[in-house]
Amino acid sequence: MTLGWAIISTGRHPDTKMAPAINAAADATLIAVASRDAGRAQAFAHKHSATSAYDDIDAMLANPAVDVVYVASPNALHLEHTLKAAAAGKHVLVEKPMALTAEDCQAMIDACANAGVKLGVGFHLRTHPGHQRVRELLASGGLGAVTLTTANWGRGLRGQIKPPPRADLQAWWDDPAMAGAGAFMATGVHCVDLMRYVLGREVTEVTALNDATSDRPLEELLIMSLRFDDGSLGTVMTGRRTPDYQGNDVMVYGSEGRAGVRESIAMVLDGTLDINTSDTEASEPYKNHPLALYTWQVDAFNSAVAGYGEPAASGMDGLRAAQITRAMVESASTGRRVDIP
């Protein structure tokens, strides 16, 4: 069954990753795109072979050929756009961070459940085969009792990243009301979601330090310590003040050894599986591919809509990330450890 996909917003992520991934996926056709600007919608539709371009989201949602809506608007708008899409009876794949608060995430979960549509969240790192292999090893007990999990996503200074093509594209990332938090919303949520994914555990405590100031309230660099519900510990470093950072890895240590993937935390399929336990030794590189993680994310979502399995990440995964984000901000600003119920 081929599903018709539509995209809300024409920013960098849908342009460089998700529209090409939808076009590359097995059972997906890009039908439509909506922008605040008709010219941008038409240019995007032309570039990515979508049949329809809209400057009105409601008009796009009225198109019966649209089965799935991919929400790629600024973080603060994910709530409104997901609620609209669910009300129109469309399945929703919403970008991370799912929303700015756990309450908003819950409203999105409820709206999709009430409408009988699937809801997925754009945590693409779950589709990496190395991460899946580590998760399976842990689930089978192959690492013994887990003690420590680490995940880092460090990037270069803002000036070393390609500048945004339009000023408004940077402006929303610098606005606390639109972005919700700083570097954690860009890359940190991926790290904590990946840790939850490979461990199959929930975070119960957070302690964080970040570089936010009263002049610049959104952090650009942060470190955090986590406790999981099995009592094991975790650490995360993320931000954009670490030029040429080496070590964008996820690694789990347990009583029987270690298992993880080196340099796999990225926007491309990449990295090397690294397992060394009493029973297993593996070091396997993954061939770099710019779109594979996102194409598999679309494939998993389509399968879920067709009744096979679930999206790579659920609404509840997005909600958990929102709880951890709030705990990170509170801990960094108060200097205290924050419990997550």
Ligand X SMILES: NC(=O)c1ccc[n+]([C@@H]2O[C@H](COP(=O)([O-])OP(=O)(O)OC[C@H]3O[C@@H](n4cnc5c(N)ncnc54)[C@H](OP(=O)(O)O)[C@@H]3O)[C@@H](O)[C@H]2O)c1
* Residue 11 vs 257, nearer CB to ligand X: 11
Q: What's the min distance (Å) between Cβ of 161 and ligand X? A: 11
Give the tokens for residue 281. Answer: 């030794």
CB-based closest residue to ligand X: 11
Residues near ligand X (CB under 6 A): 9-14, 35-37, 40, 72-75, 77, 95-96, 122, 124, 168-169, 172, 267
SS3 317: helix
Q: What's the min distance (Å) between Cβ of 275 and ligand X? A: 25
Q: What's the min distance (Å) between Cβ of 183 and ligand X? A: 11
Q: What's the min distance (Å) between Cβ of 140 and ligand X? A: 29
* Residue 53 vs 111, nearer CB to ligand X: 53
Q: What string of H, E and C letters represents the secondary structure of 110-179?
A: HHHHHHCCCEEECCHHHHCHHHHHHHHHHHCCCCCCEEEEEEEEECCCHHHCCCCCCHHHHHHHCCHHHH
E strand or H helix that includes residue 7: strand 3-8
Identity at 179, one-letter amino acid code: A
E strand or H helix that includes residue 304: helix 292-305
* Residue 11 vs 142, nearer CB to ligand X: 11
* Residue 144 vs 173, nearer CB to ligand X: 173
Alpha-carbon distance 192 to 235, whole Å? 9
For tokens 């931000």, what's the residue? 239
- The gap from C-alpha 214 to its chain's centroid, in whole angstroms, comes to 28
* Residue 95 vs 256, nearer CB to ligand X: 95
- The gap from C-alpha 312 to its chain's centroid, in whole angstroms, comes to 10
Q: What's the min distance (Å) between Cβ of 164 and ligand X? A: 6
Q: What's the min distance (Å) between Cβ of 9 and ligand X? A: 4
* Residue 101 vs 207, nearer CB to ligand X: 101
